[in-house]
Amino acid sequence: MGKDECKTMLDALNKVTACYRHLVIALGSTSDSQNLREELKKTRKKAQELAVANRTKLTALLKDKSISKDDRAEYERLWVLFTSSMELLDVDMKRSLEIGQDFPLKVPTRHLIQTGMTGSTTTVAARAMSVQNMKYEADANIDTVDLKELETEIAQVDQMMEEMEMKVQVAPWAVEAKQEAGAELKSTVSVGNSSVGVISICEEEPKETVEGETGLMKVFAGIIFTVVLLIAGILGYLVINL
Amino acid sequence: MTINTLSQDGVQRQQMSCLTKMERMVISMQDPDMGIKLRNQRLLITVIPHAMTGADIVEWLIKKCSISDEEALHIGQIFVKYGYIYPLKEPRNLILKVDDSPYRFQMPYYWMSTRWPASELDYAIYLAKKNIRKQGELIEYEKECYNALHKRINHTWDFVVMQAREQLRASKQRRKADRIVLKCQEQAYWLVNRPPVSAELYKLITLTKNTLAMLIQCSLNAKCAIKYIYVKYCEQYQPHDPIMQGCLPSIPWITDDIMFWNMNCETVAVPTKLRVERWSFSFMELLNDPMGRKEFLTYLKKEFSAENLCFWQACEDVRHGETSKIPEKVDEVYKQFLTPGASRWVNIDSKTMEKTLEGLKRPHRFVLDDAQMHIYFLMKKDSYPRYLKSDLYKNLFARAIVPQETKKR
């Protein structure tokens, strides 16, 4: 059905937007590299494909005059989700252009900000592209070449958003969200699925590193204690038997 | 689509120049030879590089800029205040301490920027993520912000929840050290851009809000004359408001029927009831309507005080007319109305007359104001109430028609 298809596509776009933001944050820091630039390019292209697909589907659904009022309200809600996603993507693309220009990679005295992040972002990009492993095949000067493409893509996205604003008459303030405050504490899997399962989304992060450390220390102490007890027990047994 | 000021303005807005200077300094701090000495931060099992002490920062600033201790400390404080460097030990305390307390650089994405100010949507996503991570245990101030945002951007709340979950899932893909750094950085960014209010200040603010609400309640209950005047005005004019009451025969913009304008124009034979009724609201209403003015003039002629209205009209003409014609107009007025023994002499008190005659020597736009005001109040107090009680007015009111409503086409 049209609605379910829409929802899965929106989920995918949402996922790619989140991953793209994650990658853009890493720009200019010590985790910036050729690979990151290529990952950004690929994620961006994927995001754009999904955006165009979503837009065509949603505009077709909204143009249909013969849908019921409930259906229309639902499609308007999905439309607001879509436009919010596009806005985030737009801002992130513009920021990645700005930061990419400020921090070129192939410069003799390159000064990337040493922020403490040194790992690679391959897994994030792989999640965005829905592949197991990323393949890197770009040439060495991707950071400058890509920026020009990025400019044209930003212009395209801006134009698309303007068209959307003109052609589709949806009042975003009239849409009521389905989720209430605190809804993120119950976890659901996707936009459409409203099953309330208690799937843990993220592992328990130590609230502050100090607390986490004391917790770990307790665990270690416990392990060492039991090991010592075991050794004592075994030695005692051997002494008695020998 | 939300009104997105960023997409149009983001490219044209300039970064504040002081921020650009700070960015350049931060970049020069990264120099492997001449930059700040960096150490590793040791958490129990994870080691995170690129930490520096407060003392290192101040020392570098002194060496680089050749300045005194005090000045270096002050500049260092600015870096921490604007979020380019954040403390690791006490994240909520954004000050620079000149000892071995650790600090770290902030990501370029999270640098303070006038081109990309922190948006409400992002803050909502951050709070939602924090809510998930802390299982609902947000601090008081953050809970308030969360609820306020939920009300304000309610239409995108689904998106906020979805995006918060996805961003957490994406960050799970990185290794533990990077995840810790990311969390600290995001927290530092929002501490700079949405500084929390201290508990005492918060109590003070809620107390002030409550007292204000109480005061407003009291003033509403009290007999406020201004309120009554306003209410009376609204009640009086409501039947005359086409938006509130609709207008007969029909609103021309909707039915394409211009009867309404035709029936209310100056030279119509029989006016509408509403129009005539309106003349009784105030003297100004009567004078503003050309037909009303004409009727009033007819009445005044019967009372032999028509010269008052003519004088008033002539003064209006001087006030609102061409500057070049003012001297001749004023002269006319003087000849017709103010000279003793003039054909249409108006009865002004001696003080005003003296003042006006004095001013006539150097005529300007407002020279006749005092005299005009005198005559205006004379008419308003004397002739106007009598006109409203007169047969002329009552007959006109009886003759006035109520137009029939035309059907929409």
How far are the Cα atoms of A130, A189, B48, B92, B186 from residue B165, in angstroms, in the given order? 17, 9, 26, 25, 16
* % of chain B with per-residue pLDDT over 90: 43
Predicted pLDDT at A196: 30
Predicted pLDDT at A194: 32
Predicted pLDDT at A215: 62
Least confident of A10-19, A181-190, B209-218: A181-190
Report yes or no: A212 at the B interface, CB cutoff 8 Å: yes
Q: pLDDT tens across A56-84, in order?
A: 888 888 888 788 888 888 888 899 999 99
pLDDT band at B4 (very low <50, low <70, confident <90, very high): very low
Domains of chain B and any CATH numbers: 17-110 (1.10.10.10), 120-198 (1.10.1240.60), 253-399 (1.10.167.10)
Q: Residue B105: enclosing H or E segment and its boundaries?
A: strand B102-105
Q: Scanning every residue of chain A, which has its alpha carbon at the shortest distance from the alpha carbon of B20?
A: A102
The predicted model gives B275-303 an average pLDDT of 92
The predicted model gives B214-225 an average pLDDT of 73
Residue A241 C-alpha, separation from nearest chain B C-alpha, in angstroms: 41
B265 — phi, psi (to 5°)?
-80, 175
Most A-contacting residue of B24, B105, B157 (CB-CB within 10 A), to test interface = B157
Contact flag B166-A118 (C-beta cutoff 8 Å): no
Q: What is the mean pLDDT of chain B?
A: 87
B38 contacts in chain A (CB < 8 Å): 114
Least confident of A201-210, B90-99, B215-224, B330-339: A201-210
* Residue B32 or residue B336, greater confidence: B336
Report yes or no: B143 at the A interface, CB cutoff 8 Å: no
Contact flag A185-B7 (C-beta cutoff 8 Å): no
Q: pLDDT tens across B236-249, in order?
A: 898 888 888 878 88
pLDDT exceeds cutoff 60 at B223:
no
Residue A225 C-alpha, separation from nearest chain B C-alpha, in angstroms: 19
Q: Scanning every residue of chain A, which has its alpha carbon at the shortest distance from the alpha carbon of B132?
A: A185
Helix B326-333 and helix B306-320, axial crossing angle in degrees, nearest 10: 170
pLDDT exceeds cutoff 50 at B132:
yes
pLDDT exceeds cutoff 90 at B163:
yes
Nearest by CB to residue B1, choosing from A109, A172, A217, is A172
A158 contacts in chain B (CB < 8 Å): 7
Kindly give the pairing relationship between strand B47-53 and strand B39-42: antiparallel
Nearest by CB to residue B104, choosing from A22, A115, A175, is A115
CATH no., domain A1-106+118-177: 1.20.58.70
Helix B120-133 and helix B140-152, axial crossing angle in degrees, nearest 10: 130
Closest CA to A13 of A71, A96, A89: A89
pLDDT exceeds cutoff 50 at A156:
yes
Q: Which of residues 49-68 of A touch B (CB under 8 A)?
A: none
* % of chain A with per-residue pLDDT over 70: 88
Residue at token pair 């009567």? B286
Predicted pLDDT at A199: 32
Closest CA to A21 of A71, A84, A82, A95: A95
Backbone region of residue A202 per phi and psi (left: phi > 0; alpha: psi in -120 to 50; beta: other values)? beta
pLDDT band at A214 (very low <50, low <70, confident <90, very high): low
**CA–CA separation, A35 and A27 (whole Å):** 11
Q: Which of residues 82-111 of A touch B (CB under 8 A)?
A: 83-85, 87-88, 90-91, 94-95, 98-99, 102-103, 109, 111
B30 — phi, psi (to 5°)?
-85, -5
The predicted model gives B13-36 an average pLDDT of 85
Q: pLDDT tens across B84-93, in order?
A: 999 998 888 8
Report yes or no: A137 at the B interface, CB cutoff 8 Å: no
Asked if B43 and B32 count as a contact pair (C-beta separation under 8 A), the reply is: no
Contact flag A179-B157 (C-beta cutoff 8 Å): yes
Report yes or no: B169 at the A interface, CB cutoff 8 Å: yes
pLDDT exceeds cutoff 50 at B228:
yes
Out of A96-110, A184-198, B167-181, give the one with best mean pLDDT. B167-181
End-to-end CA distance of chain B: 35
Most A-contacting residue of B86, B123, B156 (CB-CB within 10 A), to test interface = B156
* Residue A71 or residue A202, greater confidence: A71
Report yes or no: A80 at the B interface, CB cutoff 8 Å: yes
* Residue A228 or residue B2, greater confidence: A228
Contact flag B107-A25 (C-beta cutoff 8 Å): yes
Residue A141 C-alpha, separation from nearest chain B C-alpha, in angstroms: 22
**CA–CA separation, B359 and B354 (whole Å):** 9
| Residues in contact with B361: Cβ distance below 8 Å, sequence separation at least 6, in sequence order | none
Q: pLDDT tens across A160-200, in order?
A: 988 888 888 777 777 888 877 777 777 654 444 333 333 33
pLDDT exceeds cutoff 90 at A234:
yes
B246 three-class SS: coil
* % of chain A with per-residue pLDDT over 90: 29
Predicted pLDDT at B3: 42
* Residue A130 or residue A192, greater confidence: A130
Asked if B127 and B146 count as a contact pair (C-beta separation under 8 A), the reply is: yes
**CA–CA separation, B327 and B361 (whole Å):** 10
Predicted pLDDT at A1: 63
Contact flag B50-A30 (C-beta cutoff 8 Å): yes
**Domain boundaries defined on chain A:** 1-106+118-177
The predicted model gives A105-121 an average pLDDT of 83
Report yes or no: B350 at the A interface, CB cutoff 8 Å: no
Least confident of B3-17, B57-71, B393-407: B3-17
pLDDT exceeds cutoff 90 at B225:
no
Predicted pLDDT at A203: 32
CB pairs under 8 A between A and B: 206
Report yes or no: B24 at the A interface, CB cutoff 8 Å: no
Residue A140 C-alpha, separation from nearest chain B C-alpha, in angstroms: 23
Predicted pLDDT at A206: 34
B135 contacts in chain A (CB < 8 Å): 185
